Amino acid sequence: MWVAGVAMPVLIGMLLLFAVSPSVKANDQPSAANAAVKIDNFVFGPQTITVPVGATVTWTNADDIPHTSVSTDGVFKSKVLDTDEKFSYTFTKAGTYPYYCTIHPKMTGKVVVQ
Amino acid sequence: MAENKHDLIDQKLQDLNNDGVDRRGFLKCMAWAGTGLVWTMSGGIPVSRAFAKGNGKDAGKGADFSFVQISDSHIGFSKPANPDVTATLQTAINKINAMPHTPDFIIHTGDLSQLSKPSEFDTLDQVLKAASPKQIFFVPGEHDMLTDNGDQYLQRYGKGTKGTGWSSFDHKGVHFVGLVNVANLKAGGMGSLGHEQLEWLEEDLKGRSTSTPIVLFAHIPLWTIYPDWGWGTDDSEQALSYVKRFGSVTVLNGHIHQIMQKVEGKVSFHTAMSTAFPQPAPGSAPSAGPMKVPADQLQRVLGITDVNYLVSGRSLAVVDSPLGDTGASASGNAGEALAVVDSVRS
């Protein structure tokens, strides 16, 4: 239903939208702004994840038992995640962030922000 | 059946440490819960006696008594391994209520709830209200400390306890100690008792006669079963050093949702089945966690633990029973396990 008069401005508008929205993946490379950690079988996978400054890491609990994701240095702390629940944290400073599951402390992981 | 038990006795006797020097001895107990007959081995000679349970008001300090341990009810859990944990807890309570003698009290060794939700604790309370033994002692599991560092758990079940919920009490000459090893867990570690609780424990045991039978109960096992899965307590050695001098120590734990037993000197360790769902044997699966079994098997891998205290030998017999009968026996009660227990000899 394109009308010639509106097509151009609409197209430009859409291009601008793509440019400013960080959650839309407009190209083939995976977005460097987001990273995922999957919790399953009492393991954070990947156990060590490296992301750029400003990235958001999202933990998803795929296990059939609740887990948490809590920084050992008090930087971030998820609520209890039941199956399929998620927790996200945006890392604004470079550094190494070890974390663990407070319910099952043998489960440990690390986020490296550089 | 009798032959199997005899073989087991012989085998266990060979495994036993021989204390020799002091007067403590090892007992092996078998209890046919239906008939209330207890066999004990003392100095290699089997002796049978009727389990003389004092009932209610008549039971004085000198009477035999029993209590029941239940564990890991996980109220709120609802997944294929068991879609109705409230129903299986109810079955466990019915089983307790059907016992020929009412146990003096119940001990719940933690993971009362799945997610520390008020509604879960409410449901648990509803089910427990119908239990014949009116006194119930609790220690929390890690699932009971999820939202508020255990404040809610303490409000509901922590009356008379200290710190994160530890306490001790005496019952007919036996000293019971409830310990909490699921608080302030450190990254990469297992269960933990903590400095404050250990100091309290040392003080609590000070001055007690070594002939006092001791029962320690805590959620996570107080001995190292499988470190990779966190099945152990980092600082339990210190706690166990405080009970080393006693003639009879029984440790009751939960957390691993299966029966494991160990005897070390005068200390008997025992973990209970869950009333909610089983877990895999150590290392037999990629991780711990709920293990699905065929629906008709579920009742056999869930259970309760009946602990019988025998005054004459000052010993405790620990007998596990699954929720569902595995087959007929003379007494009508099936599936009881053999346990090696410690006793104080006078």
Please report which confidence band the pLDDT of residue A87 belongs to, taking 50, 70 and 90 as the band edges.
Answer: very high
Q: What is the Cα–Cα distance from B121 to A67, expressed in whole angstroms? A: 20
For chain B, list the domains and their CATH numbers: 2-343 (3.60.21.10)
Task: Look at residue A29 and tell me if it is in a domain.
Answer: no
Q: In this predicted structure, what is the pLDDT of residue B149?
A: 84
Q: In this predicted structure, what is the pLDDT of residue A10?
A: 57
Task: Look at residue A43 and tell me if it is in a domain.
Answer: yes
Q: Quote the crossing angle between the two packed helices B85-97 and B118-129, to the nearest 10°.
A: 30
* Residue with more model confidence, B290 or B20: B290
Instruction: Inform me whether the pLDDT recorded for B117 exceeds 60.
Output: yes
Q: What is the Cα–Cα distance from A52 to A112, expressed in whole angstroms? A: 8
- Chain A interface, mutation test: which of B146, B152, B228, B277, most A Cβ atoms within 10 Å? B146
Ramachandran bin of B56, using left for φ above 0, alpha for ψ from -120 to 50, beta for the remaining angles:
left
Helices (H), B44-131: 85-97, 118-129
Task: Look at residue A28 and tell me if it is in a domain.
Answer: no
Task: Look at residue A104 and tell me if it is in a domain.
Answer: yes
Range of the domain at A109: 38-114
Q: In this predicted structure, what is the pLDDT of residue B298?
A: 94
Among B237, B238, B231, B272, which residue's Cα sits nearest to residue B252?
A: B272
Q: How far apart are the first and last CA of chain A?
A: 47
Domain of residue A92, CATH code: 2.60.40.420
Q: What is the Cα–Cα distance from B178 to B164, expressed in whole angstroms? A: 11
Task: Look at residue A112 and tell me if it is in a domain.
Answer: yes
Minimum CA–CA partner of B228 in chain A: A106
B248-266, pLDDT tens digit by residue? Answer: 999 999 999 999 999 998 9
Task: Look at residue A15 and tell me if it is in a domain.
Answer: no
pTM here is 0.79
As given in the structure block, the two tokens for residue B126 are 């509803």
* CA triple A12-A16-A20, angle to 5 deg: 175
Q: Which residues of A touch B146 (CB under 8 A)?
A: 66, 68, 80, 103
Q: What is the Cα–Cα distance from B73 to B111, expressed in whole angstroms? A: 6
How many independent structural domains does chain A possess? 1
Considering only the beta carbons, identify the residue of A42, A80, A108 that sits closest to B288.
Answer: A42
Q: In this predicted structure, what is the pLDDT of residue B56?
A: 42
Ramachandran bin of B233, using left for φ above 0, alpha for ψ from -120 to 50, beta for the remaining angles:
beta
Kindly state the average pLDDT of the residues B331-345: 35
Instruction: Inform me whether the pLDDT recorded for A84 exceeds 90.
Output: yes
Minimum CA–CA partner of A98 in chain B: B187
Measured CB to CB, residues of chain A less than 8 Å from chain B are 41-43, 63-66, 68, 72, 79-80, 82-83, 98-100, 102-106, 108
Please report which confidence band the pLDDT of residue B334 belongs to, taking 50, 70 and 90 as the band edges.
Answer: very low
B128-165, pLDDT tens digit by residue? Answer: 999 999 999 999 999 999 988 899 999 999 999 999 99
Q: In this predicted structure, what is the pLDDT of residue A7?
A: 56
A26-76, pLDDT tens digit by residue? Answer: 444 444 579 999 999 999 999 999 999 999 999 999 999 999 999 999 999
Instruction: Inform me whether the pLDDT recorded for B313 exceeds 60.
Output: yes
- Chain A interface, mutation test: which of B142, B144, B226, most A Cβ atoms within 10 Å? B142
B51-100, pLDDT tens digit by residue? Answer: 444 444 434 445 688 999 999 999 999 999 999 999 999 999 999 999 98
Task: Look at residue A5 and tell me if it is in a domain.
Answer: no
Task: Look at residue A111 and tell me if it is in a domain.
Answer: yes
Q: In this predicted structure, what is the pLDDT of residue B300?
A: 94
